[in-house]
Structure 1
Amino acid sequence: MPEVVSFTAPYEVALVPTDAQPLTDGSVRVRTWYSGISAGTELTAYRGSNPYLSRTWDVEKRLFVDGEPTFAYPVEGWGYSEVGEVVEVAPGVGSPAVGDVVHGIWGHRSEAVVPAVAVRDRRWTREDALSGTFARVGSIALNAVLAADVRLGDRVAVFGQGVIGLLATRLATLAGARVVAVDAVPRRLETARAMGAEETVRADVAGGAGATVRAWSGGGGVDAAIELSGSDRALHEAVRSVVVDGLVAASGFYQGGAEHLRLGEEFHHNRVRIVASQISGTPVALGARWGQPRLVRTFMDEVARGRVDTRALVTDVVDAADVASVFERLDRGDPEVLQAVLRFPAAPATA
């Protein structure tokens, strides 16, 4: 019987049985091998802090308004970093074919029926199946780098060296920037060096990371900063780190208020621009040339060429049935966990 990860209440998550989805016209059935956990987003479901759980998202007005929550517990099928094998195709579907390994978005579930067109161009290798779980987080990182308008020779600070921050560090380096990485966890700063960071800064350094980053830049500030920790304190330090008229790409999923973001200080006096980077859209200045498919394709091409080492970021591969233990560790900030991946029974031992 198929199974799905279910957030049943705040701080309660489990793998539970679910009904099999019927195969529909133009669809394929994918049996999941691996599903990556995006800690920043998914902890908001685990903790109950996601705004969808307390307010209504009005799609037409594009506003959160009072009313019935958009989502209510149990919340099932969250997750957007899956890879698996096509095991059944609807009549008339030529691609992908049975036996193809594909990556995509169908949530933490043992199998799913998805439109064939959604995974037609997302075939992946059996030998490196785990890397297929990085397609979405990699596209988020690339979107942030594009939002920061990173160019050859720029000095760029990346605040937050979780998985997406580390990928942003690597991608900004590949774009030709000199990158300084900021985080509070020494192991992550070591990994940032391996990803190409020229310098690392402790987030808790005396005087603030922003001032230290400015000193590294020569005193004037970095050209751009990317904030990916989701902390308002880190966003404030990112603002402090950039040049006059500098750009900050706010790419974290910020929860609650922003008491540490003091807009009357450097933001005001240095005329800093803050832009939101969120995966539902690409930077306006890039026009129709960029969209989510190109983000994914570009990032995964870099992985396939060996220019981005995603496997080095995987610290934990655990059976999906043990999902509760993984979220407990993520919630308490276990510094040993970087990228956690759920393994479903269909995953071959050699993948």
Structure 2
Amino acid sequence: MTTLLRFSAPKVVDVVDVPAPALLPGQVRVRTRYSGISAGTELTAYRGTNPYLTRTWDPEIRLFKDGESETPAYPLDGWGYSEVGDIVEVAPDVSGLSVGETVWGIWGHRSEAVLDASALAGHELPAGVDPLAAAFVRVGAIALNGVLAADLGVGSTVAIFGQGVIGLLATRFAVLNGATVIAIDGIPARRERALAWGAAHAVEPGGDVARRIRELTDGLGTDTAIELSGNYAALRDAIRTVGADGTVVASGFYQGEANALRLGDEFHHNRVQLLASQIGSAPNRLRARWDVQRMQRTVVQSLANGSVDAASLVTHRYRLDEAADAYRMLDADPSSALQVVLDFS
């Protein structure tokens, strides 16, 4: 048997035992060590607001379809996309992966998983890297993708809205790229962490944050902004924060109607370019050289060389049988945590 997390209904979390899948040719079995909870995407499934719950994504025409019978419904099993574990079994025809190796990947909140060996190619954890840090590879790639989309470098200024886990990782990568970072978050501890990770300034949202950032940039506004909170009011402020012909990278997972944006204001008058950043692919101008695998490898290299101390972002650990408490905490009081990890050890 294997144990997995199930969303049985909105805000109902169960832990269930299911038969362990057989190992087929070309596959490996991985026993989970850690699985990171996404306080963004996963909370939309927990709360019942995820668009996949009411509509169907058509990958051929790349549109959501309303009212189709094939839309998924509860229960939702094994959500999660930030796992790390140890290989415990390898099919006889598999080469390049061995029992005992620690790997990172995506297999959801479950005690073990059977995966195609090809899905774990290049996912071996380098010696000396804390396995806990490997739970940040995927979220690190999301952060890096936003930074790549913002086209940052020495002399550039960027406002990064939202200093949760992905926002802090984006702040760190932006600093490593040579940019001057202004971090925006309402939680003092997160602003302090952003400063410790190299942000030049950390300011509270609300009020006229765009005017305050104008004061910090000699009236120019920032060259770019990255919005990671998924909050429409923050996206509006990001649009107001950049200067004329500036770029806003929208990396959050936005839910519901976008009434707060006011696109006839600064967006229109300052000719702001608004880009969506999503982990499915690299920014357009970089796709000849960058892909998701390269972004993930870059994150692993940053963990290995010590330039990103991702493991320090873990604030809470729960056993799988305590997962309901973890989600209730994140839903009711998200400010109390950075990264929440399910610990299978």
What TM-score does the superposition give when structure 2 sets the normalisation length?
Answer: 0.97
The answer for the alignment partner of 2:199 in structure 1 is 197
**Alignment partner, residue 282 of structure 1:** 282
Measured in 2, the distance between the counterparts of 1:60 and 1:308 equals: 38
1:1-351 to 2 correspondence within 5 Å? 1-66=1-66, 67-68=68-69, 70-124=71-125, 125=127, 128-204=130-206, 206-207=207-208, 209-344=209-344, 347=345
Contact 2:195 2:201 in 1 (8 A): yes
Between the aligned partners of 2:218 and 2:332, the Cα distance in structure 1 is: 37
> SS in structure 1 opposite 2:132?
helix
Q: 2: CA distance between counterparts of 1:232 and 1:68?
A: 30
**Partner Cα separation in structure 1 for residue 135 and residue 26 of structure 2:** 24
Preserved contact between residue 101 and residue 126 of structure 1 (Cα < 8 Å): no
1:120 CA displacement: 2.6
CA distance in 2 between partners of 1:160 and 1:308 (Å): 18
Counterparts of 2:313 and 2:165 in 1: how far apart (Å)?
Answer: 7
Between the aligned partners of 2:91 and 2:69, the Cα distance in structure 1 is: 37
Q: Secondary structure in 2 aligned to 1:279? A: coil
Larger deviation: 68-77 or 182-191?
Answer: 68-77
Aligned partner letter, 2:149:
A
Give the drift of 1:310. 0.5
Matches of 1:278 and 1:127 in 2, distance apart? 27
Cα offsets for 1:138-177 (capped at 9, x unmatched):
0000000011111221011100001000000000000000
Task: Give the % identical residues.
Answer: 54
Shift in Å, 1:307: 0.2
CA contact (8 A) 1:54 1:69 kept: no
Deviation at 1:289, TM superposition (A): 0.6
Q: Once the 2 structures are TM-superposed, how far is the Cα of residue 211 of structure 1 from its aligned partner?
A: 2.0
Q: How far did 1:127 drift?
A: 6.0
SS in 2 for 1:98: coil
Per-residue Cα deviation, 1:110-147 (whole angstroms, up to 9, x for no partner): 10011112213111147611001000000000000011
How far does the alpha carbon of each residue in 1:228-266 deviate from its partner, in whole angstroms, 9 at most, with x for none? 000000000000000100000000000001111110000
- Work out the CA distance in 1 between the residues paired with 2:156 and 2:168: 18
Letter in 1 for 2:150: A
CA RMSD of aligned residues (A): 1.1
More off after superposition, 21-30 vs 210-219: 210-219
8 A Cα contact 1:29 1:113, kept in partner: yes
TM-score by length of 1: 0.96
Gaps of 5+ in 2: none
Any idea what the Cα deviations from partners look like across 1:318-343, whole Å, max 9, x if unmatched?
10110000000111134221100001
Q: How many residues align?
A: 343
Match for 1:90: what amino acid? Answer: A
